[in-house]
Chains A and B, each alone.
Chain A
Amino acid sequence: MKKNNLTLYLLLAPVLLWLILLIVLPHIDLFISSFKFENDEGIMVWSLNNYLAFFEDEIYWLTFLKTAFYSIAVTALAFAITFPVAFYLSKVVSLKYSGFMTLLLLIPIWVGELVTIYGWMILLSDNGVINHFLIYIGIIDTPINMLYTDFSMTIGLVYMSMLFMIIPVMSALDSLDDNLIEAASDLGASKWMIFKQIIIPYAMPGIASGSIIVFMLIIGDYVAPNILGGKSSLWFTEQIYNEFLATFNWNEGAAFGFMLLFLSSAIIWLALKLSGQKLERVGS
């Protein structure tokens, strides 16, 4: 068995280095520094002040709550928009086109968020494509103000996350046997019944992993709220960026980071419990 052990250690060593040095230790450091506070004499002391600052200042916890609710709502919206598409691609469209149409879905992901969000900025601005089009066909006379609002932010968040919903849902639907649907239809089930009783339960693992990925992308996003959102559409990640890159209060930023980590983990844990899924399944 000695040989086997050697292989095990050779495989284990780099993985341990990766996980301990880059995942575990940094989070311990983050945790520690969130409890450090510079007192009036300029000395670092242990304190809860960073967390108290979060609860004392209304804007922080209001942003926190808004981010949480918006993230859940946008995840639901992304599901509602993409589920028909996932169904269409795996069950309806002829196989000749499905490969090409699926590939088209991957392009915005690979292009990256910065470019696509920038594209939406041009589309939605007062001089943008949508306003020009609406004026051209005569629906409106003056440009509608769409950019820098919650509306534009929501579009950006849906756009950059929705494709991560389609792919897991599609792969769940792919293995659904068409005969099940045919049998139900032969027995007189309505479309709605088939949808509710067969398709949704069958796709549930895919829906759960898609929702978790989408939710994480949205709650941790900075680019869409920052570029497309207005003054009122503050996102909690923006508070963290400000602490680190503008006011240089890293300790308070660390505390905010932990609040965000706690929030996202709690919501995901709850969602996994409610849907009876496991994190290990999400990866695959």
Chain B
Amino acid sequence: MIRSLPNSPIYKTGFRIYIILFYIFLVMPLLTVAVLAFNDSSFIALPWNGFTLDWFYINTDERLGLLADENLLLSIWTSFETGFLVALFSTIVGTIAALLFEEENFRFKGFLYFLALSPLVIPGVILGISILISSTVLGTYMETNFGMDIEWLRPSFWLVVIGQFSFGATYVMLLVSARLKKFDRTLEEAALSLRATRLQAIWHVTIPYLRPAIIGAFVVAFLISFSNFNTTIFLAGSDPTLPIDLYSRIKFSSTPVLNAVSFLIVSAITLFAIFNLVLNRNK
């Protein structure tokens, strides 16, 4: 049953076949889009018409490749900008939240912690519509009472950042908290007894200890932002992020350029994963 126990060959082989089937199931969609990115055809699926790199760069009437498609490039860039800002804000506030809930005691702590975890159990759709409604309410209020037209309160780039940050901070908080739980408090106490202020102790002792978790959380927040659809669709304005752009293309105008984008995403993530594996192995 486990490594140290003897097993019947049938059990062993059966289990192994199941695992292989599972991994085929896992890899198939990724492999399919990656391979079909090089299909010399105007349709996203089969049949295979031979190898081409058209869908990466060509610019003709019939075919528009990835590098020639300005709208697509723009939405990729928007996703990078959004991801970076969301990761930055989420990392700052999420880390502060982790310090607050792990190290401080105050009234209503349990209730606040529950609120901070709530984005895990609120569907992304609801987060999206609630932020859309309240920003619209606030925008209308500012306009009727102060005559101020605040652009970012309408669906726009900044509203997407705000919306994604609202749950990104939760994930950062959880990742940083996990490392903070293993922190040796006596180190902080030593700093305090050497006359560091509480903030100095946090900045010079606790934060350096948390650094790997903070960097990891930044990357996770970026990836969550980069692939988010459910919340973003309500908040995006005229400059959509990549998932929003991909969605409308899949629904209304799918060409193999979608396969080319998918190929790039899959390759980038795979390289990143291998890099991560090698890095951890060296440690």
Query: Which A residues are closer than 8 A to B by beta carbons?
Result: 3-4, 6-8, 10-12, 14-16, 18-19, 22-30, 33, 81, 84-85, 88, 91-94, 99-101, 103-108, 110-123, 125, 127-129, 132, 159, 178, 181-182, 185, 191, 194, 212-213, 216, 219-223, 226-227, 237, 240-241, 244-245, 250, 253-254, 257, 260-261, 264-265, 268, 279-280, 282-284
Which residues of B lie under 8 Å from residue A33 when comparing CB positions? 133, 137
B30, B47, B97: the one within 8 Å of A111 (CB): B30
Q: Are B45 and A125 in contact (CB under 8 A)?
A: yes
A12, A123, A191: the one within 8 Å of B100 (CB): A12
CB of B119 closer than 8 Å to a CB of A: yes
For B5, the closest partner residue in chain A by CB is: A185
For A100, the closest partner residue in chain B by CB is: B277
- With A18-B165, A111-B266 known, 6 other A-B pairs at CB within 8 A are A3-B198, A33-B133, A93-B19, A110-B223, A257-B129, A284-B177
Q: Are B169 and A112 in contact (CB under 8 A)?
A: no
Q: Are A260 and B123 in contact (CB under 8 A)?
A: yes
State A221–B100 Cα separation when bound (angstroms).
Answer: 32
CB of B270 closer than 8 Å to a CB of A: yes
B33, B125, B223: the one within 8 Å of A240 (CB): B125
State A18–B123 Cα separation when bound (angstroms).
Answer: 18
Q: Are B30 and A24 in contact (CB under 8 A)?
A: no
Q: Are A220 and B269 in contact (CB under 8 A)?
A: no
Q: Are B121 and A132 in contact (CB under 8 A)?
A: no
How many contacting A-B pairs (Cβ < 8 A)?
263
Known: A26-B134, A178-B4, A222-B125. A112 touches B227 (CB 8 A): yes
Which of B52-60, B106-114, B210-218 is the contact stretch?
A: B106-114
Which of B61-69, B143-151, B228-236 is the contact stretch?
A: B228-236
Q: How far is the CB of A144 from chain B (nearest CB, A)?
A: 14
Chain B, interface SS category: helix
CB of B191 closer than 8 Å to a CB of A: no
Q: Are B129 and A30 in contact (CB under 8 A)?
A: yes
State A3–B104 Cα separation when bound (angstroms).
Answer: 13
Q: Are B229 and A118 in contact (CB under 8 A)?
A: no
8 of the cross-chain contacts (CB-CB < 8 Å) are: A3-B197, A116-B30, A122-B259, A128-B45, A129-B45, A191-B11, A212-B121, A222-B233
- Count B interface residues, CB 8 Å: 93
Known: A111-B269, A250-B133. A261 touches B123 (CB 8 A): yes
CB of B26 closer than 8 Å to a CB of A: yes
Which residues of A lie under 8 Å from residue B2 when comparing CB positions? 91-92, 178, 181-182
Chain A, interface SS category: helix
CB of B42 closer than 8 Å to a CB of A: no
Q: B175-198 CB contact bits vs A (8 Å, 1 = yes)? A: 001100000000000000000011
Q: Are A240 and B29 in contact (CB under 8 A)?
A: no
For B251, the closest partner residue in chain A by CB is: A227
State A97–B37 Cα separation when bound (angstroms).
Answer: 30
CB of B240 closer than 8 Å to a CB of A: no
Known: A92-B3, A123-B28, A245-B233. A23 touches B115 (CB 8 A): yes
State A3–B170 Cα separation when bound (angstroms).
Answer: 27
State A129–B31 Cα separation when bound (angstroms).
Answer: 11
B15, B123, B259: the one within 8 Å of A92 (CB): B15
Q: Are A119 and B29 in contact (CB under 8 A)?
A: yes
Q: B1-18 CB contact bits vs A (8 Å, 1 = yes)? A: 111110000010001001
Q: Are B233 and A220 in contact (CB under 8 A)?
A: no
Which residues of A lie under 8 Å from residue B262 when comparing CB positions? 115, 118-119
Q: Are B5 and A19 in contact (CB under 8 A)?
A: no
Q: Are B19 and A119 in contact (CB under 8 A)?
A: no
Q: How far is the CB of B228 from chain A (nearest CB, A)?
A: 8
CB of B36 closer than 8 Å to a CB of A: yes
Known: A29-B134, A115-B262. A220 touches B166 (CB 8 A): no
Q: Are A8 and B46 in contact (CB under 8 A)?
A: no
For A179, the closest partner residue in chain B by CB is: B4
Q: How far is the CB of B283 from chain A (nearest CB, A)?
A: 12
Which residues of B lie under 8 Å from residue A119 when comparing CB positions? 28-30, 32-33, 262
Which residues of B lie under 8 Å from residue A108 when comparing CB positions? 26, 29-30
